[in-house]
Amino acid sequence: MGIDISIQIGGEAGQGIQTVGQLLSLVCQKAGLYVFAINDYESRVRGGESFLQLRIADRPIDAPYHRLHLLIALDRKAYDLHKSELDDGGLVMIDTEIGVEGDSVFTLPINALAKQAGGLITANTVAASACIGLLGGPLTLLNEVLEDLFGKKEKSVMDKNLMAASLGFKAVQLAKFQWAFSWQEKEPKGIMLDGAQSIALGALASDCRFAAFYPMSPATAIMSYLVSYGQKGLPVVVEQVEDEIAAVNMAIGASFAGVRSMTATSGGGFCLMTEGLGLAAISETPLVIVNAQRPGPATGMATRTAQADLLFAIYASQDEFPRFIFAPGTINEAYDTMQKAFLLSEKYQVPSIVLVDHFFNTSLYIADKPFQVPDRIERFYVTDQEISNPASYLRFQVTPDGISPRALPCNGDALVLVTGNEHSEDGHNSEAIDVRIAMADKRMKKIAAMTKEMKPPESYYGDAEMLLLGWGSSKGAIREAVDILRKYGMDAGCLHFVDIWPFPAQIVADMLKKKKRIVMVEGNMTAQLGRIIKEQTGIAYTHTLLKYDGRPFYPQKIVDQFMQ
Amino acid sequence: MIDISRYDSTFENKWCPGCGNFGILQAMKHALSSLTIPPEKVLIVSGIGQAGKTPHFIRCNMFHGLHGRALPVATGAKVANHDLTVLVSSGDGDCYGEGGNHFIHAIRRNPNITLLVHNNQVYGLTKGQASPTSSIGMITKLQPHGVHQTPFNPILVALSLGATFVARGFSGKIQQLSQLIQQGIQHRGFSIIDICQPCVSFNSINTYPWYQKRIYELDEATHNRSDLKHAMELATEWEERIPLGIIYQSQRPAFEDTIDALKTLPLVKQETQVDQLRTIMNNEHKRN
Ligand SMILES: Cc1ncc(C[n+]2csc(CCOP(=O)(O)OP(=O)(O)O)c2C)c(N)n1
Ligand code: SF4
Ligand SMILES: [Mg+2]
C-alpha cells in the first residue's frame, strides 16, 4: 500500500483551520503528492465547529477518507467531537495548554512556540510545520511555501513565520508517527484548486463575458472567482443583481446581444429562475445556468451537500422544451464540461444546466491534466453576409434540424425580433394553430442531434456483473469503492454520468444489459437518476445506496453499505 | 431626420381603437427619427401587457420578454453592446408591480437606457383588474369593493432612490412626449418617463378629459430640474394638477461607465483574450 493519509484540522471558524490546511496542502502539492480536502462548516461566520479534512496520497484521489490518521485539534471541542474517528495508531496533535491527555494524544506547546517566534498569529505555521515534521517531510518545502505566501509582505512577517516553522518542526523531532513516509523530490502533479474555481475557469475558457448572480451558497464562490479573474484584463462583466429573477433575465439579455453569458445559484435561486429558463428556451437564446446543489427544501442546509435537484433540472419548465444537463465529477471534467455547456447551448440555442454541489464547489482537488485554452472559440451566429436578404431576416426560420440561423442585434441590417410569446418565423406573436405546431416541433426537433452530442457514462470495469451507478461529484468515491470491492474479490464496476440530458438512452441500455445488480449511488432519497434510467431505457435498478444527510460520500462507507 | 416610415411595422396592431398607446408609439417613432437613430441600432425591450406589445408595432430590434422582467434583459443587452440604443416599454403592472424590484434596482444601477412606462392605472391585457397605480376606490370585477391600497407613486419613488432623469408625459401630447423621449435617450444614465395613458376599455376614471383637465407643462425656462426638493413636491401633485415634463435631472456615472471592461469597444466586439487566458491558467499552475 502506498501513501494514503488522512489529516483533520478542527476548531472554531476563524481559528485558522484554512491556513493550516492551505500550508499543508501546498507543501504536499510541491512534493508531487496528490491532495484532496473537504471543508465542513456551519452556516455562521465565527464560532461553531468546523474542520478541514486533508487526504494525502501518491495516486489520484477525488474523495475523502472515512477515518483519521492525524487530528490537529485547535480546541477541546474538536478533540471531543472527532477523537473517535482516529484509526488505530492515529494521533491527536493538540496544544499543551488545552490540557488533554491520553495514549494517542501528542501535546505540543503550539501557542507558546508561536509567541516565541514573534506572535500568536504564527500559531498556524507552528502547527503546520509540526505536522510536516511528523510526516517526515522536509522543512525546506514549507519554507518555500511561506516564501510564496508572505514573500511580498514586510520582512518581519516572513521572518516570524520562518522562525515559527523551524520551532514547530524541531518540537516533533523525537515524535513517532506510524504513517511517516520518505518524501521524494517530484514535480507537482497539477494545479490545486477547488471545484468552484474550475467552474469559473471553464467559463472563462468558453469566452463567457457576462455573469449575473444573486449570492447563494455554494454558488457564490464561482462568481467571486470570475470577479477576480475579470480584473486581470479579460473582457468579463460580473454583476450582483437584486434577485435570481434579475440574474437569469440579465444573462439572457446579454446573450441575446451576443456575448456568452451565465448565472450560478443553488436550488432555491434556481426555482426563481424557472420562468427565465422558459424564456431562454422559447426565445432560443443561449444560456448557461450552474446549479450548485445543497439540501432543501426551501433554505434547507446552506453549507451542506446534496444531489437532489436532478429531476427538477430536467423537468423545470412551463410546457416542454429541450435543454442540456451536465454533472461533472472531477475538476478536469468540470473545466471541460463548462466549455461543452457553453458551446452546445449556443450551437443548439437551448439552455444548458450544469449541476455541481457544495461538496464539489468547496473541496480542494489536484487537476492532473493542464487546463487548455482553445486557439479559437467557435461561435454560432450569422452576419448580414451570410443571410441571403438581411431586410427580410427571419430569426425563427423553420429548418430541417430545428436550428434557425441566429443573427445578433445591431450587427448589420438584419433586425432581430424575439419574444417569449409563441411566435411565427419572423418573431412576431402568433397563436395560429399551424404556427404553434411548427414552432413547438422546430424546438423539439433539435433533440435528435442534441442526444448525439451526449457522451456515454464513463465506465470503470463496466463489464462486471454488478454495477454502481452515479453522477456528478460522487465519482471519486464510487470508483474507489469499486477498487475496494474488487480487492474483496467482488466482480464490481461503475458507470459515472456527466452528460445526463438529453438522456443517451440507447447507449445506456446497452451498457446495462444483463447486469446482475444495478446499484444507484446518489445523494438523494429517491434514486433520481435511477428513475430517469428506468423511464428512458425500461431497465430497472436493483438496489440503492442513497445518502441525504448533507455529508459527502466516503468510499469505504459505500462498500460497507454495499456488503449489507 | 430619418424618414419616419422606416419605423413602421407591418405587423397588425392589436390595441383597441382610441387607446393611449397609439400616441406613445407615434412619439417613439418621432423621437428616433428626429435623433436619426436607425432601426437596426435600436433595441426595444418589453415585458407583458398591452404596453409590452409595443415593440411589435415599431420596426426595430425587439426583445419581448417576461412579465415584469424587461429591465434586467435591457440592462444585460446594453452591457453586452453599448452601441445599442435601448428603450424599454413597460406597463404600470409590469414595471411597478411584477417588476417593482427591478425598477428600484435599475434606478440604483443607472444603466444608460430609457424606460417608458405606459401608465394606464389598470391591467389592460388581463381585462381590467386594478394595478399598483389605480386610484383608491376604483371598482373592478376583481376589486368589487374598490381599491383600498394607496397608489404607487413612481415619480416620488424614483426621486427618493436617486434617479437621474425623471419625467412625466401624456400620450395625448405626442410632440412633448417625443421631446421627452429624445431627452431621455440623450441623458447619460437611466431615464424614466412615466406616461399617462388612457385605457379606453377598462379605465373609466382616468380618461382623456380627466387628464386634459389636470395636466400642465412645466415651464422649461423657469423650472429648475436640479432642485430635488421642488421635484418631490411636484411628484406629489396628482388629484388636482399633473405636471408634465422633465421633473428632475442630475448626473452621475451610468452603469456602463463604471465598468472597466467597457471603456473601449462594446463587450460583444472585443477580441477573445486567448493569450491572457493562457497566462491565467499557467499562473494558476505556478501560484500553487
Ligand atoms: C408571471 C406572470 N404573471 C401574470 C401574467 C398575466 N399578466 C399579463 S399582463 C398582466 C398585467 C398587465 O398590466 P400592465 O403591466 O399595466 O400592462 P397593460 O396591459 O395595462 O398595458 C398580467 C397580470 C403573466 N403574463 N405572467
Ligand atoms: S385594453 Fe386599454 S390599454 Fe389595452 S389596448 Fe385597449 S385601451 Fe389600450
Ligand atoms: Mg397598465
Supply the DSSP string of A478-514, one letter for each residue. Answer: HHHHHHHHHHTT--EEEEEESEEES--HHHHHHHHTT
For ligand 1, say whether the CB of B99 is within 6 Å of any of its atoms.
Answer: no
SS3 B217: strand
Say if B285 is an interface residue toward chain A (CB within 8 Å). yes
> Domain for residue A552, yes or no?
yes
CATH number where A341 lies: 3.40.50.970
What cell numbers appear for A225 in the block? Answer: 472567482
- Say how many Å lie between the CA of residue B66 and the centre of ligand 1: 9
A191 and B274: CB-CB below 8 Å? Answer: no
With a pLDDT cut of 70, the percent of chain A lying above it is: 100
Do residues B25 and B58 make contact, with C-beta atoms less than 8 angstroms apart? yes
User: Considering A159, A189, A219, which residue would you say is the last residue of a domain?
Assistant: A189
Q: In terms of domains, do A512 and A553 share one?
A: yes
Q: What is the mean pLDDT of residues A493-499?
A: 98
Q: In terms of domains, do A434 and A507 share one?
A: no
User: Considering A189, A213, A236, which residue would you say is the last residue of a domain?
Assistant: A189
Q: In terms of domains, do A259 and A123 share one?
A: no
Taking the C-alpha atoms of residue A407 and residue A414, their distance in angstroms, rounded to an integer, is 7
Do residues A287 and A261 make contact, with C-beta atoms less than 8 angstroms apart? yes
Do residues A361 and A217 make contact, with C-beta atoms less than 8 angstroms apart? no
Q: In terms of domains, do A181 and A306 share one?
A: no
Domain that holds residue A120: 4-189
Q: What is the mean pLDDT of residues B112-117?
A: 98
Per-residue model confidence as pLDDT tens digits over A21-50: 999 999 999 999 999 999 998 877 777 889
> Domain for residue A533, yes or no?
yes
Across chain B, mean pLDDT equals 97
Backbone phi, psi, residue A286, to 5°: -60, 145
pLDDT at residue A1 in the model = 61
* CA distance, residue A191 to nearest chain B CA (Å): 5
B 197-216 residues inside an 8 A Cβ radius of A: none
Q: Is A333 a residue whose pLDDT tops 70?
A: yes
Burial of A353 (0-12, 13-18, 19+ CB in 10 A): buried
For the question of whether the overall pTM of this predicted structure is more than 0.80, the answer is yes
Backbone phi, psi, residue A471, to 5°: -150, 155
Domain boundaries, chain B: 5-261
Taking the C-alpha atoms of residue A408 and residue B137, their distance in angstroms, rounded to an integer, is 47
* CA distance, residue A424 to nearest chain B CA (Å): 11
- Say how many Å lie between the CA of residue B53 and the centre of ligand 1: 11
Q: Which residue is listed with cell 486557439?
A: A375
pLDDT at residue B288 in the model = 41
Q: Is B271 a residue whose pLDDT tops 50?
A: yes
- Say how many Å lie between the CA of residue B111 and the centre of ligand 3: 24
> Domain for residue A101, yes or no?
yes
Q: Is B219 a residue whose pLDDT tops 80?
A: yes
Q: Which ligand is nearest to the CA of B52?
A: 1
CATH number where A532 lies: 3.40.50.920
User: Considering A336, A367, A398, which residue would you say is the last residue of a domain?
Assistant: A367
Q: In terms of domains, do A242 and A331 share one?
A: yes
Does the domain spanning B5-261 belong to CATH 3.40.50.970? yes
A419 vs B contacts (CB less than 8 Å): 56, 62-65
Q: In terms of domains, do A435 and A330 share one?
A: no
pLDDT at residue B283 in the model = 78
Which is it for strands B42-46 and B85-91: parallel, antiparallel or unpaired? Answer: parallel
Q: Is B287 a residue whose pLDDT tops 60?
A: no
Question: CA of A124: how far to CAs of A20, A93, A110, B98, B220, in Å?
Answer: 5, 13, 8, 51, 68
Per-residue model confidence as pLDDT tens digits over A45-79: 777 889 999 999 999 999 999 999 999 999 999 99
Contacts of B182 (CB under 8 A, 6+ apart): B31, B34, B35
- Helix, strand and coil in chain B, % to nearest 5: 40, 15, 45
> Domain for residue A29, yes or no?
yes
Taking the C-alpha atoms of residue A539 and residue B94, their distance in angstroms, rounded to an integer, is 48
Question: CA of A266: how far to CAs of A239, A333, B129, in Å?
Answer: 17, 20, 35
> Domain for residue A144, yes or no?
yes
Q: In terms of domains, do A26 and A53 share one?
A: yes
Query: Would you call the peptide bond into A502 cis, given omega within 30 degrees of 0 as the criterion?
Result: yes
Other beta carbons within 10 Å of A463: 10
Per-residue model confidence as pLDDT tens digits over A177-206: 999 999 998 999 999 999 999 999 999 999
Write the Ramachandran bin of A5: left for phi over 0, alpha for psi from -120 to 50, otherwise beta.
beta
pLDDT at residue B285 in the model = 58
B277 and A419: CB-CB below 8 Å? Answer: no
What cell numbers appear for A131 in the block? Answer: 505536522
Per-residue model confidence as pLDDT tens digits over B67-84: 999 999 999 999 999 999
Do residues A310 and A556 make contact, with C-beta atoms less than 8 angstroms apart? no
B 40-59 residues inside an 8 A Cβ radius of A: 40-41, 43, 45, 48, 53, 55-56, 59
Q: In terms of domains, do A425 and A511 share one?
A: no
Test mutation, A417, A425, A431, chain B, max B CBs within 10 A: A417
Q: In terms of domains, do A407 and A468 share one?
A: no
Q: In terms of domains, do A10 and A150 share one?
A: yes
Query: Would you call the peptide bond into A295 cis, given omega within 30 degrees of 0 as the criterion?
Result: no
Work out the pLDDT band at A392, boundaries 50, 70, 90: very high
- Say how many Å lie between the CA of residue B92 and the centre of ligand 3: 5
Which residues have CB under 6 Å of ligand 2? B 15-16, 19, 21, 50, 120, 124, 199-202
Per-residue model confidence as pLDDT tens digits over A429-449: 999 999 999 999 999 999 999
- Nearest to residue B129, comparing CAs of B113, B142, B117? B142
Contacts of A451 (CB under 8 A, 6+ apart): A502, A503, A504, A505
pLDDT at residue A46 in the model = 74
Say if B274 is an interface residue toward chain A (CB within 8 Å). yes
Q: In terms of domains, do A138 and A155 share one?
A: yes
Q: What is the mean pLDDT of residues B237-244?
A: 97
Per-residue model confidence as pLDDT tens digits over B147-187: 999 999 999 999 999 999 999 999 999 999 999 999 999 99
* CA distance, residue B145 to nearest chain A CA (Å): 33
Domain count of the fold of chain A: 4
> Domain for residue A377, yes or no?
no
B72 and A212: CB-CB below 8 Å? Answer: yes
Among the listed ranges A235-244, A367-376, A394-403, which one has the minimum average pLDDT value? A367-376
Q: In terms of domains, do A200 and A181 share one?
A: no
Per-residue model confidence as pLDDT tens digits over A123-161: 999 999 999 999 999 999 999 999 999 989 999 999 999
Q: Is A421 a residue whose pLDDT tops 70?
A: yes
Q: Which residue is listed with cell 444585460?
A: B76
Q: End-to-end CA distance of chain A, in Å?
A: 26
CATH number where A183 lies: 3.40.920.10
B281 vs A contacts (CB less than 8 Å): 201, 205, 370-373
For ligand 1, say whether the CB of B107 is within 6 Å of any of its atoms.
Answer: no
Do residues B112 and B78 make contact, with C-beta atoms less than 8 angstroms apart? yes
Do residues A7 and A69 make contact, with C-beta atoms less than 8 angstroms apart? yes
